[in-house]
Amino acid sequence: MTDTAVDTEVPAADQHPVGNPLSDGLRHGRVPLPSVLVIFGATGDLTKRKLVPALYALAADGLLPPGFSIVGAGRSEQSTETFREAMREAVAKYGRVPLREDLWSVFSDGMRYCEFDLDADDGLNDLAENLEELDRERGTSGNRIFYFSIPPSGFAPLAERLGREGLTREEDGGFRRMIIEKPFGRDLDSARELNGKLHLAFGEEQVYRIDHYLGKETVQNLLVFRFGNGIFEPLWNRQYIDHVQITVAENIGVEGRGGYYEESGALRDIIQNHVIQLMAIVGMEAPSKVHGETVRDEKVKLLRAVRPIHPDDALSHTVRGQYAAGWIDGERVPGYREETGVAENSLRETFVAMKVDIDNWRWAGTPFYLRTGKRLPKRATEIAIQFRRVPHSPFGGRVETPAGLLPKDSIDPNLLVLRIQPDEGITLRFSAKVPGQSMRIRTVNMDFLYGSAFLTESPEAYERLLLDCMLGDRTLFAREDEVEEAWRICTAILDGWRSQPPDREGTANYESGTWGPEAARDFMARDGRQWRRL
């Protein structure tokens, strides 16, 4: 087989604050304008494990402009040199790109640390002085990105204070943008309230709601797979697809975040953002062009077509569970209620399975099954598209398979699997004849693996998303109405669960190291289907 690679090169990013280079074709070699990235909460794990290593990788790839600068803003007192040394250790430990002293010297030269205190009248003075100094010394021209790596309770107060100090106002051609991490609210009302408060300081075009799943190569490739190939899109509808399964499985527990998980749970933590975003990309109509607003318009249309689940019907459309003690990779692990920070009688869900119906022309009658859980047998995220069975088998009433003589409908239906993590790739399952004189049919797989196909390492999700924000490309960030539509779906379920709580013993209903509660299997069996074995 011969691979033909086609690189479509476009000019460097639009030099406008909200430019979208994607609208002109595939993005290649984009370098943004000089800017300052201010990381609030700079002493936290996210900065050390993800943000600074991602920025260093961009610098190593030549994708950061001269003069790009980082200001770490924290509540603790420390010097810039101490901050630089901590970030150097973080890049060496967590970075995708090996640390090089010559590159680090240039990269860290644009790094500063300052304290901030929202309770003090002069609590942002140090930050403002650092920003002005960087404009003069490094030519950042007033371009600012504020990264809110802080608890969600601080989002609105920090945005309001930045607005009051005039730090969000775009002047003299410079841009001001903010990036916030999930959760974007706790339900529909709180999401709307948060959006309203953010908009007092930042316009919607300045707000970048980050979801690292959308920065993964396989998720981005889904757009190309669907809309760049003529053989799949004609089959991508209710006529040919029986159902869709989206799974986000984790083999870890709450990892010391019991207090957070008690407030969140699997529905809020994973389904409302990651899984619903994946569902929207799988189900959306083709945009007129791959552009920030046209792509997000189509995703919102899909979410608006999701059939509302009335709170009274929440239990018939969902299954929830909580992991008990069990075994993972030969090691005994505790149950959720034994985790630090978790109430001994907690009813919080760590597993969710749900069925979503989409009322539009493309998907009517083709359900989407979504599931996520902690302490499952393996870590895996995948989208499985199961096609309908052949309408009539020409092989007679019974066919010979490796398992023996079986009814004709036991031939496995075709399946298309997109693996998001780990081992990113795509698998197509189909039936083939086994060589020999008899008619023996066997299911075989055709595999595409990113690593072996391109012989290059995929960038980390945060690399892509941080660069897109610098370029003003909002395609992979959630818009206000996207967030609210996702919460519309989930809030009704939360309301239903609240009015029909499980009994204490009925919540911890799956053993760690299994694929969730038995009720999840029964849930699929009612529809004559079963969860795919990962």
Active-site annotation, residues? 274
Instruction: Identify which of 143, 276, 290 has the alpha carbon closest to the alpha carbon of residue 211.
Output: 276
CA 325 – CA 259 distance, rounded (Å) = 19
Instruction: Mention every residue, 6+ apart, whose C-beta is less than 8 A from residue 391.
Output: none
Whether 310 and 490 have beta carbons less than 8 Å apart is answered as: no
The amino acid sitting at 481 is: D
Report how far apart the first and last C-alpha atoms of the chain are (Å, whole number). Answer: 29
What is the rounded CA–CA span in Å between residue 481 and residue 424? 30
Rounded to whole angstroms, the Cα distance separating 422 from 302 reads: 27
Backbone angles phi, psi at 32, to 5 degrees: -80, 180
Q: Which residue has the tokens 């897109």?
A: 468
* Identity of residue 313: D
* Exposure string for 398-415, b = 16+ CB within 10 A, e = fewer: ebebeeeeeebeebeebb
Stretch (H or E) spanning 319: strand 318-321
Strand-strand pairing, 415-421 and 404-407: unpaired
Measured distance CA(198)–CA(155) in Å, rounded: 8
How far is it, in rounded angstroms, from Cα 405 to Cα 398?
A: 6
DSSP element (H, E) containing 242 = strand 241-249
Give one DSSP letter per residue of 326-355, joined into a string.
EEETTEEE--GGGSTT--TT----SEEEEE
Three-state SS for 365-422 is: CCCEEEEEECCCCCCEEEEEEEECCCCCCCCCCEEEECCEEEEHHHCCCCEEEEEEEC
Q: What's the chain's Rg over C-alpha atoms?
A: 25
Classified as helix, coil or strand, 490 is helix
Mode of pairing for the β-strands spanning 69-74 and 111-115: parallel
The number of beta carbons lying within 10 Å of the beta carbon of residue 222 is 18
Which two three-digit tokens encode residue 407?
């009814």
- What is the rounded CA–CA span in Å between residue 12 and residue 366? 42
Q: Is the peptide bond before 65 cis (omega within 30 degrees of 0)?
A: no
Q: What element of type H or E holds 261?
A: helix 258-263
Helix, strand counts (H, E) of the chain: 18, 20
Strand 36-40 vs strand 69-74: parallel, antiparallel, or unpaired? parallel
